[in-house]
Structure 1
Amino acid sequence: MSLVRAVASIAFVLWPALGLAGPRDDYAQQWPLQLSSANAGAYRVVLDDSVYLQARQSGLRDVDVIDGTGNPVPAAIYRPGANDVRATTKVSLPWFALPARAAGAGQDWQLVSEVEADGRLRRVEARGIGRSTATGPQTALLIDASTVRTPIRALELDWAPGTALDAAYRVEASDDLERWREVAANGRLVDLEQGGRRLLQRRIAFEAAGLRARYLRLSPINPDAVAPIRAVSAELSAGADPAPLRWRQLKGRRLAAEGAKDKGARFEFELDGRFPIQRIDVALPGNYAVRWMLESRDQADAPWQRRLDTWTAYRVGADGRSSSRALSARTDDRYWRLRADGAVPAEPTLRLGYQPEMVVFIAQGAPPYALVAGSARTARDDLPLPQAMMALQQGRGADWRPAEASLGAMKALAGAAALQAPEPERNWRTWLLWAVLVVGALVVAGFAFSLLRGSAPPAA
């Protein structure tokens, strides 16, 4: 009986080690969460640089929220503007027809305008100038947005139904009708009908931060693929302005030339965290004009992915320099490469801009709650939290938002141990513990068998 008790005692003591490590042992660092309201139920916390520096997995898969007992609670990462149904307003904008540019010609507009004291256009007369003085059809648009005081999220154009249309437009902006700059825009105008079904797209969207300009100019890429516009409206966001960009400045290393005929320059950079990069800029000392191409990759041995096609970065004097460039999609890649098609005498600084994301979580379990980050062992579970947030918003009104929470000071959990890949399943301690349990089971079975034999009835 003493042997059975000894085996049972060993198994009781060692059994917890058979389980998986708790969440606190799977993460490198934690940040206590300070809640703005004790009974809100749902909270949002904006991430700071310290979280991005600790995260190791792409998409912040190793960032989570745990309760006071160390158990994870429902949580999800929200990007600025994503999964956020903002109230929008539309305002009608005055517009004027302009002559289209002739395909392949160096033709431009000469605008003769009358402007009110507040900047509104009273009258616009457009004349084609260049090699040919002939003007094309009035298919381009000059839009007067001088009365708009908030960023424009998108333009919506209206035209008479029944016109087959599939047209792309170039969008330019100006504040004085003299100097124009091209702006990034997504969307094309589509109006197609077949088999009784209609495909309609009237919207030209700008970047998430919106566009600020007094005047806009829309030019069809193909002057023949246009429709007669009869109204233009601007979509404005009624929500708060997006958070300003934060920037990481990287110094890289120059790579050797690939061959004798290689006249360009290449520079590699390593980002120190999982930052969701959405804009880039390149700076050099002094005056410069360099044509660049940008690539990135997630791992040091992965193939390079092109992020920006060739563009020119320049600086002339104190106030003449190129603006930063927007990426087509956010990326949290760690490795970046700049390629120049000519000589670059100095070392460039790569500036990577991002907007901080936020974690939204449900206050499940017992407080206090903490945000945890940095793990090679585990990842946050995918839960239908966005659907739950949308349902709450529908029930409580479009202006409802989770209550605010803030990050406390960073504290160590498992530290560097959580950043090491888990050991293979052949861990000797696990096998030893299972062996102890099996031996204990055999001892118990043998003891029971001996009892059965001892209690057998005597032979007749």
Structure 2
Amino acid sequence: MSQKLNLNWLGVAVIGVAAMGVALAAAAEEKPADFATQIPLTVSGNGPWYRLELPLAVLLNARQTDLGDVRVFNAAGQPQAYSLAREAAKTDENRTLTDVKWFPLYNSADDTERAPSVRVQSSANGALVEVQPSSQLEAGEEELRGWLLDASAIKAPLQQLILDWTSERDGFQRFTIEASDDLQHWQSWGEGQVARLTLADERVEQHEVGLPGQSARYLRLLWSTPRSAPVLTSAQLQSGSPRSLPLPLSWSQALAGSSAKAGEYTWQLPMGLNVERVQVALDQSNSLAPVILSARRDSSLPWQPVSNGLLYRLTQNGEDVVQNELQLTGQPVQQLKLTVDERGGGLGEQAPALKFAVRATQLVFLARGPGPYVLALGSATAKAASLPLSMLIPEYNAQKLATLGKASVGGAAVVAPVASPVQAPVGTDWKTFGLWAVLLLSVLFLGAMAYSLLRKPPENT
């Protein structure tokens, strides 16, 4: 019985030594010099918490895909508690597709400068029942200028517009997008382009238009070219959860590619990234290319199609109409391949330049000790140290996050990676040496005790 108790005590002691080893490892505190890249930060607003949107050019200096090697240090070289907010890839379950009503907007044929004025009849909840021109138009004078979409039943931010129209109006459809909550005051949401073409007896269609991720009760689509508005047959709006609006996209610099055979181009990304969008440079006017975009994590894996569409740069009415972006799912990729249907003329022998976009990463840190503060990253051995926001900020909520102070990378955000990690000065670290000596002696002592206990004959009970 006594031997059993002694062995139990021995197990507890071993666990204690293991804990001492963990504490020893923690005592070897990280220093800014352990990281290849160090960037000064500028802070403003109310602390002690500061939030920093990490530029893509900075993130590309990390050596770990999950950004486990990102740190913030104060002027004394002490690490700061921080949290990383990295948005997960979007899934279809987070989005809702809604069919909406559409109403024609007419104007006088010679009045293309002003938006059509209308009188409306709506229900108690704001849904449109009828839309009519505000003044009577003579027969033959009216011109279909655009469409009014009723999104009053959608309470979430609008992310994408999907249109279909009669086949009598093939070609490119270009229009402006405006949003309103009261049908009186309109805010520009930019331009939209859709297309339906016949290419070598095949139909090439583009129906989707990206929206800015904001809420609105009504959308107004106006065609700028006279007699160009088509008759819609379907209008849908895709919306997302209002609880967490997406962080903005961060675009890369142009990336050079290569081409091993005609109509196929590949690009190597600096690291595995959650790419959400790519932009292909179309330098030559009147370029038209149906394409399939494939991706993979590394060269040992097969290519997987991730997007397709129609890329073009065409001259219409003296100006270029460009569609050069493709949307991805946001899954991690490191290699991209574009396959072009060359019946549209192709994109040339040389691979076009490509830019990619990822969702911005936000870092929040708790300022402790003297400034200025430094962002450090670029270590293959550093362990992830990010805390949940709810732990970093007591009583955390989205409203509180918006009131935090702001931090930004110093200067012109030029990153100057150190060629190799800075080595510590040569000499004896007596504190670390002493800790290791104590640990070694403890292990030897426990080993001797275990040997003694195992040799001792069991006591008679």
For the aligned pair, the TM-score class normalised by the smaller chain equals 0.5 to 0.7
User: Does residue 246 of the first structure (1) align with residue 251 of the second (2)?
Assistant: yes
Residue 241 to residue 302, structure 1, CA distance change in 2 (3 Å): closer
Query: Which is richer in strand?
Result: 2
Counterpart position of 2:264: 266
Find the residue that maps to 1:58 and give its secondary structure. Answer: coil
Task: Say if 2:149 and 2:219, in contact at 8 Å, map to a contact too.
Answer: no
Task: Output aligned runs, 1:103-122, within 5 Å.
Answer: 113=106, 118-122=115-119
Task: Say if 1:35 and 1:404, in contact at 8 Å, map to a contact too.
Answer: yes
**In structure 1, what is the Cα distance between the partners aligned to 2:220 and 2:276?**
26
Give 1:350's match in structure 2, choosing from 354, 362, 367: 354
Residue 31 to residue 218, structure 1, CA distance change in 2 (3 Å): farther
Letter in 2 for 1:408: G
User: Does residue 183 of the first structure (1) align with residue 208 of the second (2)?
Assistant: yes
**In structure 2, what is the Cα distance between the partners aligned to 1:65 and 1:156?**
45
Task: Say if 1:251 and 1:350, in contact at 8 Å, map to a contact too.
Answer: yes
Task: Output aligned runs, 1:254-403, within 5 Å.
Answer: 254-256=259-261, 265-272=263-270, 277-286=275-284, 287-308=286-307, 310-317=308-315, 319-331=319-331, 333-342=333-342, 344-347=347-350, 348-354=352-358, 356-365=360-369, 367-385=371-389, 391-393=395-397, 400-403=402-405
Letter in 1 for 2:364: V
TM superposition shift of 1:311? 1.2
Task: Output aligned runs, 1:47-58, within 5 Å.
Answer: 47-58=54-65
Task: Say if 1:81 and 1:208, in contact at 8 Å, map to a contact too.
Answer: no
Residue 184 to residue 372, structure 1, CA distance change in 2 (3 Å): same
TM superposition shift of 1:313? 0.9
TM superposition shift of 1:304? 3.2
Task: Say if 1:76 and 1:361, in contact at 8 Å, map to a contact too.
Answer: yes
Find the residue that maps to 1:51 and give its secondary structure. Answer: helix
Letter in 2 for 1:54: N
Task: Say if 2:389 and 2:396, in contact at 8 Å, map to a contact too.
Answer: no
Counterpart position of 2:39: 31
Task: Say if 2:293 and 2:306, in contact at 8 Å, map to a contact too.
Answer: yes
**In structure 2, what is the Cα distance between the partners aligned to 1:218 and 1:389?**
50
**In structure 2, what is the Cα distance between the partners aligned to 1:18 and 1:354?**
34
User: Does residue 219 of the first structure (1) align with residue 234 of the second (2)?
Assistant: yes
Task: Say if 1:58 and 1:333, in contact at 8 Å, map to a contact too.
Answer: no
Give 2:67's match in structure 1, choosing from 60, 65, 68: 60
Letter in 1 for 2:333: D
Structure 1 runs not aligned, ≥5 long: 1-15, 83-94, 99-110, 126-140, 146-154, 159-167, 186-205, 222-231, 257-263, 419-429, 447-460
Task: Say if 1:393 and 1:400, in contact at 8 Å, map to a contact too.
Answer: no
Aligned Cα root-mean-square deviation (Å): 5.2
TM superposition shift of 1:113? 2.9
TM superposition shift of 1:180? 6.7
Task: Say if 2:259 and 2:349, in contact at 8 Å, map to a contact too.
Answer: no
Counterpart position of 2:406: 404
TM superposition shift of 1:118? 4.7
Letter in 1 for 2:35: Y
Find the residue that maps to 1:330 and give its secondary structure. Answer: coil
Find the residue that maps to 2:59 and give its secondary structure. Answer: helix
Letter in 1 for 2:334: R
Residue 242 to residue 441, structure 1, CA distance change in 2 (3 Å): closer
**In structure 2, what is the Cα distance between the partners aligned to 1:437 and 1:170?**
67
TM superposition shift of 1:280? 1.6
Residue 240 to residue 36, structure 1, CA distance change in 2 (3 Å): farther
Letter in 2 for 1:381: A
Percentage of pairs with the same residue: 22
Residue 56 to residue 313, structure 1, CA distance change in 2 (3 Å): same
Letter in 1 for 2:148: I
TM superposition shift of 1:244? 7.4
Letter in 2 for 1:375: S
TM superposition shift of 1:374? 1.2
Residue 250 to residue 359, structure 1, CA distance change in 2 (3 Å): same
Q: TM-score, normalised by structure 1?
A: 0.53
TM superposition shift of 1:65? 1.7
**In structure 1, what is the Cα distance between the partners aligned to 2:31 and 2:102?**
63
Letter in 2 for 1:291: P
Residue 363 to residue 243, structure 1, CA distance change in 2 (3 Å): same
User: Does residue 78 of the first structure (1) align with residue 56 of the second (2)?
Assistant: no
**In structure 2, what is the Cα distance between the partners aligned to 1:57 and 1:144?**
46
Structure 2 runs not aligned, ≥5 long: 1-23, 90-99, 120-130, 134-145, 155-159, 165-173, 179-191, 195-206, 223-231, 423-431, 449-461
Greater mean alpha carbon deviation, residues 267-276 or residues 289-298: 267-276
Deviation track 1:245-302 (CA, whole Å, cap 9, x = no partner) reads 534212211124xxxxxxx622111233676543222234423211211122333434
Task: Say if 2:105 and 2:116, in contact at 8 Å, map to a contact too.
Answer: no
TM superposition shift of 1:388? 5.4
Letter in 2 for 1:301: S
Residue 386 to residue 337, structure 1, CA distance change in 2 (3 Å): farther
Counterpart position of 1:157: 153
TM superposition shift of 1:372? 1.0
Task: Say if 1:280 and 1:327, in contact at 8 Å, map to a contact too.
Answer: yes
Task: Say if 1:296 and 1:333, in contact at 8 Å, map to a contact too.
Answer: yes
**In structure 2, what is the Cα distance between the partners aligned to 1:390 and 1:142?**
48
Aligned length: 317
Deviation track 1:105-141 (CA, whole Å, cap 9, x = no partner) reads xxxxxx573589553434459xxxxxxxxxxxxxxx9
Find the residue that maps to 2:254 and give its secondary structure. Answer: strand
Residue 40 to residue 315, structure 1, CA distance change in 2 (3 Å): same
Task: Say if 2:279 and 2:326, in contact at 8 Å, map to a contact too.
Answer: no
TM superposition shift of 1:403? 0.4
**In structure 2, what is the Cα distance between the partners aligned to 1:96 and 1:436?**
77
Deviation track 1:306-359 (CA, whole Å, cap 9, x = no partner) reads 321x21211223733442435243356332211223355332222323464332
Residue 220 to residue 379, structure 1, CA distance change in 2 (3 Å): same
